[in-house]
């Protein structure tokens, strides 16, 4: 069985603040994949990143960075110098063989960035 927990339901920050979105997962698979998706108010899910379970190297893409720690089963997402356009719901997801590699999503974290 797989489970993804995003404990933060809503976060509100002021523009230019840094913000970290938490994601904790559970799986029995030794090989699995972790994802972050963004769902802006328009509704369409936008792929942000995929991480393989055997690659714990952290990744940075512009203002976005991801911290993957297998020891704590966490895959956290940090936005540096947040902007109003970052306002959206962010979903963490897991896929693994025992689910046919379908995405198992958390409940999402709603981020509001105010000017």
Partner 1 sequence: DTGVSQDPRHKITKRGQNVTFRCDPISEHNRLYWYRQTLGQGPEFLTYFQNEAQLEKSRLLSDRFSAERPKGSFSTLEIQRTEQGDSAMYLCASSLGGNLRGEQYFGPGTRLTVT
Residues in touch with partner 1 (CB under 8 A): 4, 33, 35, 37, 43-47, 50, 52, 91, 93, 95, 97, 99-108
Kindly state the DSSP code that residue 71 receives in the 8-state scheme. G
Contacts of 12 (CB under 8 A, 6+ apart): 111, 112, 113, 114
Whichever of 7 and 101 has its CB closer to partner 1, that residue is 101
- Computed on alpha carbons and rounded to an integer, the radius of gyration of the chain in Å comes to 14
Shortest Å, Cβ 57 to partner 1? 16
Shortest Å, Cβ 78 to partner 1? 20
Whichever of 18 and 26 has its CB closer to partner 1, that residue is 26
Whichever of 47 and 58 has its CB closer to partner 1, that residue is 47
Whichever of 82 and 104 has its CB closer to partner 1, that residue is 104
Shortest Å, Cβ 17 to partner 1? 25
Task: Reduce the DSSP state of residue 109 to 3 states and report it.
Answer: strand
Shortest Å, Cβ 67 to partner 1? 19
């Amino acid at each position: 069985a797989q489970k993804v927990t995003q404990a933060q339901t809503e976060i509100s920050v002021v523009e230019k603040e840094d913000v970290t979105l938490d994601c904790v997962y559970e799986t029995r698979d030794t090989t699995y994949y972790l994802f972050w998706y963004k769902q802006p108010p328009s509704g369409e899910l936008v792929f942000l990143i995929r991480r393989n379970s055997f690659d714990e190297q952290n990744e940075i893409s512009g203002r976005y960075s991801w911290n993957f720690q297998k020891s704590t089963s966490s895959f956290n997402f940090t936005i540096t110098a947040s902007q109003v356009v970052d306002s959206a719901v962010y979903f963490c997801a897991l896929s693994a063989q025992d689910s046919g590699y379908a995405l198992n999503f958390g409940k999402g974290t709603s981020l509001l960035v105010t000017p």
